């Protein structure tokens, strides 16, 4: 069975991820296939709208295929992963700037590369099961796939908090933080997709908007802003929940992620954000904690990574600067 279904229905271009047993993890080929479809549909007058969804109840897309990254990286072969990121990030920008309406339906886990696929669309629907996060620091990476662009525009210091701790957002939190637009009960999604496909009319989407309640993050806003105003993670004075989250992440990734999100906040456009991300991810696989983080969390599952640094304070400023320094002409399109 194919990992993805790409077709046209009525007035819609339809993209459905079909790897539910793998939580619809994104492979390199899936990303290339999606980009090719978007390129074709852009000039196809019969396609007025694009819908992206996924099979299964557990996940829209839980991220990229990190087991492949691990096995290639262990052999010292970093080129395939770097090419995957370059192609993936190009797709993320394509979705963000696509000239026709893109609607995504984000059930269950939407994380990492799933955020890159689902949360740059013009219209992002969440439901009761939605859990959205950027948990990359927990495997020795940094928020990528354009996630830093959304994080940098979240209210106050919420973006730093979400990007460093990997906090899992329910639907109300995702809307509050700018990762989604509207909550619609999942029992209504099939009919809604059919209406959108048949009519290409976004009015049905707007009319279906349902109250999603208040985000619990709103009540914590002042505390989060105070904690994450610190210049470095090593200087944060965390509450108990935040301290627990910080204890699980790579110190190097946490410090680089904090700096990354703040630098992206000063930039215009998703392309500039993706270039900053690529500088860090390019280095994380060879000079950071990514391979060890995947080993501990996914391969051996011992949950005891041997990070390169024992604490956030052990990460020198010069190393943080180096991870976000330009790589060289031609490395990122």
Superfamily of domain 1-333: 2-enoyl-CoA Hydratase; Chain A, domain 1 (3.90.226.10)
Give the whole-angstrom CA distance, residue 167 versus residue 165: 5
What integer pLDDT is reported at residue 274 of this predicted model?
97
Task: Provide the 10 A C-beta neighbour count for residue 143.
Answer: 34
What integer pLDDT is reported at residue 65 of this predicted model?
82
Question: Considering the entire predicted model, what is its pTM?
Answer: 0.94
Residue 251 has pLDDT above 70, yes or no: yes
Give the whole-angstrom CA distance, residue 66 versus residue 86: 15
Sheet holding 109-111, edge to edge: 59-61, 109-111, 131-133
Nearest to 316 by CA among 242, 250, 256: 256
Both tokens assigned to 156: 């106050």
Cβ contacts of 71 within 8 Å, gap of 6 or more? none
DSSP-derived secondary structure letter, 25:
P
Can you give the residue ranges of every domain in the chain?
1-333
Residue-wise pLDDT for 7-20, tens only, equals 999 999 999 999 99
Give the whole-angstrom CA distance, residue 219 versus residue 214: 9
What integer pLDDT is reported at residue 212 of this predicted model?
74
Higher-confidence residue: 100 or 68? 100
Alpha-carbon distance values, 171 to 33, 123, 186, 242 (Å): 29, 14, 12, 21
Give the whole-angstrom CA distance, residue 310 versus residue 209: 47
Residue-wise pLDDT for 102-159, tens only, equals 999 999 999 999 999 999 999 999 999 999 999 999 999 999 999 999 999 999 999 9
Q: What is the mean pLDDT of the chain?
A: 94
Least confident residue range of 84-88, 204-208, 239-243: 204-208
Report the interhelical angle of 158-165 vs 251-265 (nearest 10°): 150
What integer pLDDT is reported at residue 2 of this predicted model?
81
Cβ contacts of 25 within 8 Å, gap of 6 or more? 19, 61, 62, 63, 64, 65, 66, 113
């Amino acid at each position: 069975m194919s990992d993805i279904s790409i077709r046209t229905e009525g007035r819609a271009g339809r993209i459905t991820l079909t790897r539910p047993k793998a939580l619809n993890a994104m492979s390199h080929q899936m990303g290339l296939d999606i980009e090719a479809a978007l390129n074709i549909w852009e000039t196809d007058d019969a396609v007025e709208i694009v819908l992206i969804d996924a099979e299964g109840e557990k996940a829209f897309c839980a991220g990229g295929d990190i087991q492949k990254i691990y096995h290639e990286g262990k052999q010292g072969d970093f080129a395939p992963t770097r090419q995957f990121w370059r192609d993936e990030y190009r797709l993320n920008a394509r979705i963000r700037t696509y000239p026709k309406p893109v609607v995504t339906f984000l059930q269950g886990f939407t994380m990492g590369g799933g955020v890159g696929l689902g949360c740059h669309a013009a219209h992002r629907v969440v439901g009761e099961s939605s859990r959205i996060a950027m948990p990359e620091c927990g495997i020795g990476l940094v928020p990528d796939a354009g996630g830093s662009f959304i994080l940098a525009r979240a209210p106050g210091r919420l973006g730093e908090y979400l990007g460093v701790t990997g906090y899992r957002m329910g639907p109300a939190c995702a809307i509050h933080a700018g990762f989604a637009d509207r909550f619609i009960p999942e029992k209504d999604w099939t009919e809604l997709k059919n209406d959108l496909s048949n009519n290409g009319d976004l009015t049905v989407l707007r009319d279906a908007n349902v109250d999603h309640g208040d985000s619990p993050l709103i009540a914590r806003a002042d505390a989060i802003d105070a904690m994450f105003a610190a210049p470095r993670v090593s200087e944060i004075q965390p509450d108990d929940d935040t301290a627990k989250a910080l204890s699980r992440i790579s110190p190097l990734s946490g410090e680089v992620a904090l700096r990354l999100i703040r630098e992206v906040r000063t930039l215009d456009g998703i392309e500039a954000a993706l270039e900053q991300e690529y500088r860090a991810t390019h280095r994380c696989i060879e000079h950071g904690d990514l391979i060890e983080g995947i080993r501990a969390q996914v391969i051996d599952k011992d949950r005891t990574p041997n990070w390169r640094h024992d604490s956030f304070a052990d990460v020198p400023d010069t190393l943080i600067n180096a991870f976000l320094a330009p790589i060289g002409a031609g490395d990122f399109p």
